[in-house]
């Protein structure tokens, strides 16, 4: 199922600050993925890139009104689709 | 008056980190509370109680979690507590500004068959952002009490207490939440084969869900109640469900949890106007979290905190010191002048000097923790962690490790205590274990003595800078080594919430300050007192009967009374257990270029690092020794080469943290194992490094 990556999905880290997208897929496995899911990072949710720290990570995103920081490794697990 | 004793009501507070659980806990229990560690783990445990109308209510504050899976120690502790302890009421504390995520946890608590109360905390902020919750309707939908509170302002306390009482009277378990026909069916099928014993039967729906998503830990833990057949059945059901839906099972279940919450919120939440409650935070973050300015601003903020800690702290420190001086004089006054008394020496040189040496840093501790509490409660700490994480993560540390490590420059003890801000156990242990490498304030007198003794004036400032840098570098390298060895394992996910800025309340700040101050004082009164006495005995006994200096005097050598006194003191120390120990360990420390005099002085340094200076003075019988003592420096540079001096500085920087650090590491890590690993590991590294430096240096012709 994790291989069903559609060509239009791109990694969260590739977004520029201010871009708003819909989450398409949450990859990875085990506890890290579960933590992402538990925090509401689920497919079809809208996510907005707020800012990116010096050096490209961590990234700061907004989701359902709350703000979260993600490391590069975690942000790369989140694939986003078209603009929302 | 024979009072009928009513058993206390037992309640637990559960909720996400940052949902304001702890401030609600404080509002409920006031000062009637305790902080400790869950046995064997670094997870903080808080429990307390309050009374209403004579009825006692015992409260346990569970660690903040997003879910009740068993991946992190925090989640495991919260889960175990909810699973195995019979709580009359479980209060789920929700962050009203992030209801969706907060209520995810509530669904799991409902599955556990608990008697819940939902507490919508920070309701003022949610209101301000235009969110209206139909509380009555929500109560009706859920079937248990729902209250609105503002924890850090103490609002809604009475409502909460009344709701808890109502819930405990009703004794009704939450009805199992409906998660969709297909999933409910699977849960029921699995539940039917579960034969849970004791307090567990009502948790069937939750246990079945955990088995469905393949939680092996639950299956192991409840091996007596969960049969192999049930596990196999759960696996089959999971496969069926994910085939039907085309989703993996953990995503499927998590989505259903959220769908339940969405349905609920659609019925009870109205957003009147979309006002951006974060507009103010956003403006502040444009500066404070700015990729370019953020770091320098953070540097300035940290500097300001340290400056206040040390300059403002000096004033009360002076009072404590003179108080101790007066106490010493007062005690000394009980004995006639010039007389010998073991008890007086024990009280003055052992207890007051030892415990006092620790108590004197209390103002620093209080001020530092005030600063740290400000950073934390305002929400800035999360920004600092965000800014620092990239560098820290490279070395296996966490963005939040930075502040405790900086604190370590002042004193390792508050630094190690400050690692409590790290939620993840491995991050916390790594930070704690390498923290003593930050050259603390007590080591400064050592550098002040040794550097001028062995370095020419133009090299003194770089030498001091160098010793601090070596410490930082080693801390990072050892952190990396720890993460590759004993603390290896899957990296904890870094998904950190960045709450909006909030004005800290003085109530919360004072609470945090006094809590830390009390922990610190209690330690001074117990373990430090004990070790001070032991060290005093070691460096005092056995006593000599005849002194060589007396023989010299008999030969007509002229000395002042003070010189005689000092010479006798030196001989006593050499003759004492500590002195003999120093001589005994000489072969061990010889590879580093040290002799017994340095060895004996180092034994005392375990009590407190700065004791090394005083001890060296005694060994050399130099009289009242301070770090500026010119005579002692001259003797040192005469007896030892600069190479030995450098090797000595390295050793004192790295080896054995002081006993207070050892004790606090034991306490904060929850096990002797980590404290001994820190003690042994650092000493070994110090030995290897100093030996290498000395031996290589000698081969190269230095020293």
A4-62: pLDDT as tens digits:
445 589 999 999 999 999 999 999 888 889 889 999 999 999 999 999 998 888 999 99
Q: Which of B146-155, B356-365, B677-686 has the lowest mean pLDDT?
A: B356-365
The label of the residue with tokens 């004579």 reads B54
Question: So what's the ipTM on this one?
Answer: 0.91
Nearest residue in chain A measured CA to CA from B295: A54
Q: How far is B393 from chain A (nearest CA, A)?
A: 9
CATH number of the domain that residue B32 is part of:
3.40.50.300
B382 neighbourhood in chain A, CB within 8 Å: 69
Q: Are residues B13 and B114 in the same domain?
A: yes
Residue B299 has pLDDT above 70, yes or no: yes
Check residue A40 and give its pLDDT. 92
B144, B44: one domain: yes
Q: Is A60 on the interface with B (CB under 8 A)?
A: yes
Q: Give mean pLDDT, residues B427-434.
A: 94
Q: Which of B102, B135, B170 is the last residue of a domain?
A: B170
User: Which residue of chain B comes nearest to A52, CA vs CA?
Assistant: B291
Q: Under an 8 A CB cutoff, do A64 and B382 touch?
A: no
B230-257: average pLDDT: 94
The pLDDT score that the predictor gives to residue B649 is 96
For residues A35 and B69, give the distance between their C-alpha atoms in angstroms, rounded to a whole number: 9
Token pair in block for residue B700: 């190269």
Taken in order of first residue, the domains within chain A and their CATH numbers are: 10-83 (2.30.30.90)
How crowded is residue B32: how many other Cβ atoms within 10 Å of its Cβ? 13
Q: Which of B14-18, B67-71, B506-510 has the lowest mean pLDDT?
A: B67-71
DSSP state for residue B352 in the 8-state scheme: I
State phi, psi for A2 to the nearest 5 degrees: -70, -5
Spell out the residues 6+ positions from residue B166 whose beta carbon is closer than 8 angstroms to its own.
Answer: B145
A37/B251 Cβ within 8 A: yes
Comparing CB atoms, the residue among B98, B250, B389 nearest residue A66 is B98
Euclidean distance between CA atoms B86 and B88, whole angstroms: 6
Residues B50 and B103 in one domain: yes
Q: Which residues contact B194 (CB under 8 A, 6 or more apart)?
A: B204, B207, B208, B225, B226, B230
pLDDT at B60 over 70: yes
**Is B72 found in the same domain as B31?**
yes
Q: Total structural domains in chain B?
A: 2
Which of B246, B281, B307 delimits the end of a domain?
Answer: B246
User: Residue A3: what pLDDT?
Assistant: 47
Lowest mean pLDDT segment, chosen from A29-38, B97-106, B159-168, B475-484: A29-38
Q: Residue B1: which pLDDT band, with cuts at 50, 70 and 90?
A: very low
CB contact under 8 A, B387 and A71: no
Distance from CA of A58 to the nearest CA of B (A): 7
pLDDT of residue B624: 45
Q: CB B495 to CB A65 under 8 A?
A: no
- Interatomic CA distance for residues B149 and B132, integer angstroms: 14
Per the domain annotation, does B492 fall within a domain? no
Q: Do A34 and B399 touch (CB under 8 A)?
A: no
Give Cα separations from B497 to A39, B104, B210, B251 (angstroms).
10, 16, 26, 21
Neighbouring residues of B315: CB distance < 8 A, sequence distance ≥ 6: B363
Cα separation, B664 vs B433, whole angstroms: 11
Q: Does A17 touch chain B (CB under 8 A)?
A: no
In eight-state DSSP terms, residue B670 is S
Tell whether the model's pLDDT for residue B275 goes beyond 70: no
Compute CA distances B179 → B96, B100, B204, B550, B638, whole Å. Answer: 23, 15, 15, 91, 81
Domain assignment present for B215: yes
Strand-pairing partners, residue B44, are B37
Per-range mean pLDDT, top range of B263-267, B447-451, B620-624 = B263-267
Question: Which residues of chain A make contact with B287, given a CB cutoff of 8 A?
Answer: none
- Select the more confidently predicted residue: B348 or A3: B348
Give the integer Cα–Cα distance in Å for B259 and B295: 40
> Considering only CB atoms, which chain B residues are within 8 Å of A43?
251, 255
- For residue range B333-347, list pLDDT tens digits in order: 888 876 677 888 888
pLDDT tier at B163, thresholds 50, 70, 90:
very high
| Same domain flag for B81 and B195 | no
> Would residue B275 count as lying in a domain?
no
Q: Which of B14, B149, B504, B125 is nearest to A65 (CA)?
A: B125
The per-residue pLDDT for B627 is 52
B90 and B203 belong to one structural domain: no
Reference B450, options B645, B205, B243, B194; nearest CA is B645
In a domain, B329, yes or no: no
Q: Best interface-test mutation with A: which of B494, B497, B501 has the largest number of A CBs within 10 A? A: B494
Does residue B77 form part of some domain?
yes
Mean pLDDT of B304-313: 80
Query: How many inter-chain contacts (A to B, CB under 8 Å) are there?
Result: 118
What pLDDT score does B523 carry? Answer: 66
Provide the CATH number for the domain around residue B187: 1.10.287.1770
Q: Does A1 touch chain B (CB under 8 A)?
A: yes
Residues B47 and B98 in one domain: yes
Q: How confident is the model at residue B218 (pLDDT cuts 50, 70, 90)?
A: confident
Q: For residues B151 and B13, state if they share a domain.
A: yes
* Percentage of the residues of chain B whose pLDDT score is greater than 70: 93
pLDDT, average across residues B504-509: 87
**Residue B35's pLDDT is what?**
73
What's the domain range around B59?
Answer: 9-170
Average pLDDT over residues B615-644: 73
Are residues B143 and B97 part of one domain?
yes
| Contact: A35, B495; criterion CB under 8 Å | yes
Q: Which of B170, B196, B214 is the last residue of a domain?
A: B170
For residues B92 and B61, is the Cβ–Cβ distance under 8 A?
A: no
How far CA B18 is from CA of B105, B466, B499, in Å, comes to: 14, 40, 8
Distance from CA of B390 to the nearest CA of A (A): 7
Model confidence band, residue B59 (pLDDT cutoffs 50, 70, 90): very high
* Tokens found for residue B656: 């054995």
What does the alpha-carbon distance between residue A43 and residue A26 come to, in Å, rounded to a whole number?
7
DSSP B155: B
Same domain for B165 and B18? yes
- Same structural domain, B232 and B127: no
So what's the pLDDT on residue B276? 65
**pLDDT over 60 (residue B625):** no
Cα B435 to Cα A39, B298, B440, B661, B663, distances in angstroms: 31, 20, 10, 10, 14
Q: Which helix (H) or strand (E) holds B341?
A: none
Residue B47 DSSP symbol: E
Separation CA B150–CA B153 (nearest Å): 6
Query: Among residues B452, B444, B454, B446, which one has the least CA distance to residue B645?
Result: B454
Would you call A32 an interface residue with chain B, using a CB distance cutoff of 8 Å? yes
Return d(Cα B667, Cα B186) in angstroms, integer.
Answer: 45
Minimum-distance CB partner of A60 among B255, B278, B498: B498
- Residue B380 covered by a domain: no
Closest CB to B100: pick one of A1, A37, A64: A64
Q: Is residue B203 part of a domain?
A: yes
Higher per-residue confidence, B374 vs B200: B374
Contacts of residue B353, Cβ cutoff 8 Å, sequence gap at least 6: B532
Residues B39 and B151 placed together within one structural domain of the fold: yes
**Rounded to 5 degrees, what are φ and ψ at B202?**
-75, -10
Residue B235 has pLDDT above 90, yes or no: yes
* Residue B457 maps to a domain: no
Average pLDDT over residues B599-625: 72
């Amino acid at each position: 199922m994790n291989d069903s990556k559609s060509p239009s999905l791109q990694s969260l880290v590739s977004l520029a600050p201010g871009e708003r997208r819909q989450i398409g897929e949450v990859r990875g496995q085990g506890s890290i993925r579960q933590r992402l899911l538990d925090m509401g990072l689920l497919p079809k949710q809208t996510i907005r890139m707020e800012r990116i720290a010096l050096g490209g990570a961590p990234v700061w995103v907004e989701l359902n009104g709350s703000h979260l920081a993600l490391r590069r490794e975690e942000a790369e697990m989140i694939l986003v689709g078209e603009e929302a | 008056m024979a009072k009928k004793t009513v058993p206390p009501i037992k309640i637990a507070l559960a909720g996400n980190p940052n949902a304001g659980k702890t401030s609600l806990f404080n509002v409920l229990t006031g000062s009637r509370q305790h902080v400790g560690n869950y046995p064997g783990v670094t997870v903080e445990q808080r429990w307390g109680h309050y009374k209403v109308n004579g009825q006692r209510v015992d409260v346990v504050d569970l660690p903040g979690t997003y879910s009740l899976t068993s991946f992190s120690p925090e989640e495991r502790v919260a889960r175990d507590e909810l699973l195995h302890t019979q709580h009359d009421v479980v209060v789920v504390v929700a962050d009203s500004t992030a209801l969706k995520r907060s209520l995810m946890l509530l669904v799991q608590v409902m599955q556990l068959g608990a008697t819940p109360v939902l507490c919508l905390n920070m309701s003022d902020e949610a209101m301000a952002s235009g969110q209206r919750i139909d509380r009555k309707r929500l109560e009706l939908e859920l079937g248990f009490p729902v209250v609105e509170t503002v924890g850090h302002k103490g609002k809604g306390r009475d409502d909460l207490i009344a709701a808890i009482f109502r819930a405990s009277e009703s004794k009704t378990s939450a009805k199992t939440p409906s998660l969709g026909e297909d999933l409910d069916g699977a849960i029921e099928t699995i539940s039917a084969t579960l034969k849970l014993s004791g307090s567990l039967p009502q948790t069937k729906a939750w246990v079945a869900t955990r088995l469905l998503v393949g939680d092996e830990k639950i299956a192991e833990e409840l091996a007596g109640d969960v049969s192999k057949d049930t596990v196999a059945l759960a696996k089959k059901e999971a496969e069926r469900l994910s085939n039907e839906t085309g989703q993996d099972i953990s995503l499927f279940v998590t989505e259903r949890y959220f769908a339940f919450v969405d349905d609920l919120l659609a019925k009870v939440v109205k957003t009147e106007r979309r006002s951006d409650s974060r507009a103010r935070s956003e403006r502040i973050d444009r500066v404070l979290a700015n990729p370019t300015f953020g770091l320098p601003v953070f540097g300035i903020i940290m500097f300001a905190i340290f400056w206040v800690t040390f300059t403002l702290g000096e004033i009360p420190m002076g009072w404590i010191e003179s108080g101790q001086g007066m106490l010493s004089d007062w005690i000394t006054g009980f004995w006639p002048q010039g007389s010998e008394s073991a008890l007086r020496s024990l009280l003055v040189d052992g207890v007051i000097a030892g415990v006092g040496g620790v108590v004197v840093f209390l103002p620093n501790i209080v001020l530092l923790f005030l600063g740290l509490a400000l950073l934390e409660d305002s929400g800035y700490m999360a920004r600092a962690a965000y800014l620092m994480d990239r560098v820290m993560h490279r070395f296996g540390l966490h963005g939040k490790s930075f502040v405790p490590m900086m604190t370590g420059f002042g004193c390792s003890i508050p630094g190690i205590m400050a690692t409590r801000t790290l939620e993840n156990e491995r991050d916390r242990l790594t930070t704690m274990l390498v923290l003593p490498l930050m050259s603390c304030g007590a080591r400064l007198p050592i550098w002040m003595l040794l550097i001028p003794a062995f370095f020419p004036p133009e090299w003194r400032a770089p030498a001091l800078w160098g010793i601090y840098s070596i410490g930082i570098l080693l801390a990072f390298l050892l952190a990396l080594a720890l993460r590759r060895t004993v603390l290896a394992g899957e990296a904890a996910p870094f998904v950190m919430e960045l709450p909006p800025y909030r004005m800290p309340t003085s109530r919360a700040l004072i609470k945090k300050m006094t809590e830390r101050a009390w922990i610190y004082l209690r330690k001074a009164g117990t373990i430090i007192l004990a070790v001070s006495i032991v060290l005093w005995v070691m460096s005092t006994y056995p006593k000599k009967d005849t002194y060589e200096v007396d023989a010299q005097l008999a030969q007509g050598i002229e000395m002042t009374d003070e010189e005689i006194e000092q010479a006798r003191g030196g001989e006593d120390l050499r003759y004492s257990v500590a002195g003999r120990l120093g001589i005994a360990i000489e072969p061990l420390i010889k590879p580093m270029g040290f002799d017994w005099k340095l060895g004996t002085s180092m034994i005392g340094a375990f009590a407190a690092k700065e004791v090394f200076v005083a001890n060296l003075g005694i060994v050399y019988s130099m009289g009242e020794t301070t770090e500026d003592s010119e005579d002692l420096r001259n003797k040192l540079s005469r007896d030892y080469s600069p190479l030995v001096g450098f090797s000595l500085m390295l050793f004192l920087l790295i080896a054995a943290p002081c006993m207070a650090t050892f004790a606090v590491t034991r306490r904060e890590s929850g096990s002797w194992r980590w404290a001994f690993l820190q003690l042994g590991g650092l000493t070994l590294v110090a030995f290897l490094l100093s030996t290498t430096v000395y031996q290589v240096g000698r081969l190269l012709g230095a020293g």
